[in-house]
């Protein structure tokens, strides 16, 4: 069995997080936390692939394996950085 990997993007959307898979049109979800959104993304990717297979559609392969992460800094660190500018 081939292991499929897809690039996912998770963005803050107000008080929640929105996640989507650029390679799979319409494959998106949300969650209260990043972890919940990741879990939900795995579920919708599986559903997307199952649906595509049942319809006889070709499953795209994402050859670009990369990770895009967001790093949040606390206010104290921001103030310290500004004092050096």
Q: Give tens-digit pLDDT for 26-72.
A: 999 999 999 999 999 999 999 999 999 999 999 998 877 666 666 67
CA dihedral sign of residues 48, 46, 66, 33? positive
CATH of the domain at 51: 3.30.160.250
Q: Could you tell me the strand order of the sheet in which 28-31 lies?
A: 9-13, 16-20, 28-31
CA-CA distance, 59 to 51, in Å (whole number)? Answer: 10
* 13 touches 6 (CB < 8 A): no
Q: What is the mean pLDDT of residues 8-14?
A: 93
For the chain, the domain total comes to 1
**57 located within any domain:** yes
pTM to 2 decimal places? 0.73
Which residues form the domain of 20?
Answer: 9-84
Structure tokens at 30: 């949300």
Residue 13 lies in a domain: yes
pLDDT at residue 82 above 90?
no
């Amino acid at each position: 069995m081939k292991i499929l990997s897809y690039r996912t993007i998770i963005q803050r959307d107000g008080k929640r997080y929105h996640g989507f898979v650029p390679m799979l049109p319409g494959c998106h979800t949300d969650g209260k936390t990043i972890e919940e959104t990741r879990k939900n993304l795995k579920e919708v990717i599986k559903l997307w692939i199952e649906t595509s297979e049942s319809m006889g559609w070709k499953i795209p392969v994402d050859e670009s394996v990369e990770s895009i992460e967001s790093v949040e800094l606390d206010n104290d660190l921001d103030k310290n950085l500004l004092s050096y500018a």
